[in-house]
Structure 1
C-alpha cells in the first residue's frame, strides 16, 4: 500500500517536472520570437505567471476548436504576457466624447440592391500590408483611417501610396493622439488638410509636436465622409466603394485570436478600430448546419496577429458592436 502511494507521488512529480521543463522551453522561445525583455527578475516572474495563465486558456480553447465546438483558434501571440485585466482594459478610442455625440451624415443604400456574394479587397493591388501601431500608443483610429484612405485613393487613382498615421497622431486636434480618437474625426481632418506620405512623416509610436507640411500634403478631393447604419449598408459600401473603418468591442478573446471566424466574448463597448476589407460566407460543415456569414478585417497589431494581420468575424449579428461607429469617405 505504501509502495503504491510512493509510486503515485513519484509519477506526479515526474509529470510536473516534465511539464515545467516544457513550459520553460516554450517561454524562452516565445520571448525570442517576440523580442520580449524584462528590466528586473521580479517583473519577468510576474509576466511569466500571466503568460502561463494565458497558455492554459489558449490550450483549453483550442481543444474545443479541435472538437469542432468553436469556429476559431487562439495563439500565444505578443499579448500573451498580459493579464486578463490588462487585455480587457486596453482601448484606443476617444475617452472624451462618445462616437454617437459626433455630428456626421449617415448614408444608406437601397435594401434590394444586389451585391456580390463575396468581396476581398486584398486581391486588388490597392492594399498595403497590415502594420503595427505598437503597444504603447492607442493609435488604432489613425491606422484604420489611413488604411481606408490608402485603398480608396488607389481605387480611384490606380496608385497605392503609403501614407502617414503619425500626421494624425500629432496634428489632428479633434482626437487625442496616443490616448485615442475616432476615425470619423480623422476623416474630417484629412478632408480639410490632406495627408502626407509615411516617408515624409514616419510613425514613432508616440505623440510629438505637429510637423504638418502643406507643400508635401496630398489633397484627396473628398466628396463626403459619413457613417452607415447597419450591416447590409456596410456590405454594399464595401462592395461598391471600398474598405470601411469600424469600431469593435475588442476584449481578451479577440486579442488572442489566431485563425478562423471569430465568435468569442466581446467587451461591453467599442475599444478598438479596425478596417473591413471584404466579406464572404463559409458553407455549413454538414447538411444540418448553417452557413456562416463573415467580415474580413484588417488589424493594426502587426502581421504576427491573426491570419497574417487579418481576421474574420461573424457578419449580420452585430458582433462586438461592429455597427456602432462605422466610418467611410468618398473621393472623386
Structure 2
C-alpha cells in the first residue's frame, strides 16, 4: 500500500516536472517569435507568471473549441504576457462624454429598411482595403479606423488605393487626444476640413509629436456628408451600399486572444476600441444545424494578431457593443 502511494506521488512529480520543462521550451519559443526582451529578471518572472495564466486560459478554451462547444479559437499571441487587469484596462477611445454626435452639422444616418442588400459583402475583394496596420503602443485606434474608412471609400470612388497618414491625425487633430484616445466621428470632421497627407509623406511614429501637416501636400476629398449610425441592420446596409465603416467596441480579454473562427467571447458594451467593418456574411455550422451571421472586422494590431489581422464577430446580437457607435464619410 505504501509502495503504491509512493509510486503515485512519484508519477505526479514526474508529470509536473515534464510539464514545467515543456512550458519552459514554449516560453522561450514564444519570446523569440514575438521579440520579447525584459529589462530585469524580476520583470521576466512577473511576465512569465502572466503568460502561464494566459496559457492555461487558452488551453482550456481551445479544448472546448476542439469539442465544438465554441466557434472560435484563441492563440498565444503577443498579448499573452499581459495580466487580465492590463488587458481590461486597454483603451484608445475618448471618454464617453466626449464621443458621439458632433454638436453641429453631424447627422445621424438611417437607411431605409426596404433597401435590398446582398447576403454577404467583403470589400477586400475590390482591392480597396489597405494592408493591416499596427498602431503599436499609441492609443490611436481611432485614427487608424478613420483613415481606413477614408482610404477604402476614396478607392471605391476613384479606383485608386492611396495610403493616408494616421500620424497626421495623431499630431494635428486637436479635437482628439493623440495617443491618449479619440473618436472616429470627430476625426472625420477633421478630414473633411483639412484633407489628408499620404502616409509616405507623413509616416507613422507610434507616438504623438508636433504637427507637420502641409496643406500643399494634402489630398482633399469631395465629402457629401459624414455621419453617425446606430444599429446593426443600418450598419450592414451602409457597408453593402457605400463601403467600410468605423465602429467602436469592447476589446475584451477574450477579443485580444482571438485567433480564428466566429468570435462570441465574453465582453461588455463599455466601448474602448475602434476598428473597421469591411464586410459581413453568414456561416453554416453543420453540427448545430444553424446559420451564424458575422462581421468581417479589420483591426489595427498588426497582421500577427487574430486571423492575419482580422476577426469575424457574431452579428445581430450587438456583441461587445459593436452596434452602438458607427461612423462613416460619403465621398463624391
Q: TM-score, normalised by structure 1?
A: 0.97
- Paired position in structure 1 for 2:117: 115
- Paired position in structure 1 for 2:76: 76
Residue 177 of structure 1: SS of its match in structure 2?
coil
User: In the TM superposition, what whole-angstrom CA distance separates every residue of 1:68-104 from its partner, at most 9, and x where no partner exists?
Assistant: 1111110000100000000011000013734246433
Alpha-carbon distance in 2 for matches of 1:148, 1:296: 14
- Paired position in structure 2 for 1:224: 225
Alpha-carbon distance in 1 for matches of 2:101, 2:292: 33
Alpha-carbon distance in 1 for matches of 2:49, 2:135: 26
Shift of 1:268: 4.3
Residue 283 of structure 1: SS of its match in structure 2?
strand
CA contact (8 A) 1:99 1:325 kept: no
What does 1:176-191 correspond to in 2, within 5 Å?
A: 176-191=177-192
Alpha-carbon distance in 2 for matches of 1:121, 1:76: 29
Q: What stretches of structure 1 move > 4 A for 4+ residues in a row?
A: none
Residue 76 of structure 1: SS of its match in structure 2?
coil
- Paired position in structure 2 for 1:147: 148
Residues 151 and 101 of structure 1: CA distance in aligned 2, closer, same or farther (over 3 Å): closer
- Paired position in structure 1 for 2:329: 329
Alpha-carbon distance in 1 for matches of 2:96, 2:61: 36
Alpha-carbon distance in 1 for matches of 2:317, 2:96: 28
Alpha-carbon distance in 1 for matches of 2:8, 2:35: 40
Residue 326 of structure 2: SS of its match in structure 1?
coil
2:205 maps to 1:204: yes
CA contact (8 A) 1:88 1:267 kept: no
Alpha-carbon distance in 1 for matches of 2:207, 2:100: 27
User: In the TM superposition, what whole-angstrom CA distance separates every residue of 1:182-225 from its partner, at most 9, and x where no partner exists?
Assistant: 00011000000000111111111100000000011000111111
Alpha-carbon distance in 1 for matches of 2:97, 2:219: 29
Residue 278 of structure 1: SS of its match in structure 2?
strand
Q: TM-score, normalised by structure 2?
A: 0.97
**Cα RMSD after superposing both structures:** 1.1
Q: How many positions carry a matched residue from both structures?
A: 330
- Paired position in structure 2 for 1:172: 173
Residues 88 and 170 of structure 1: CA distance in aligned 2, closer, same or farther (over 3 Å): same
Residues 165 and 269 of structure 1: CA distance in aligned 2, closer, same or farther (over 3 Å): same
Q: Which runs of 5+ in 1 are unaligned?
A: none
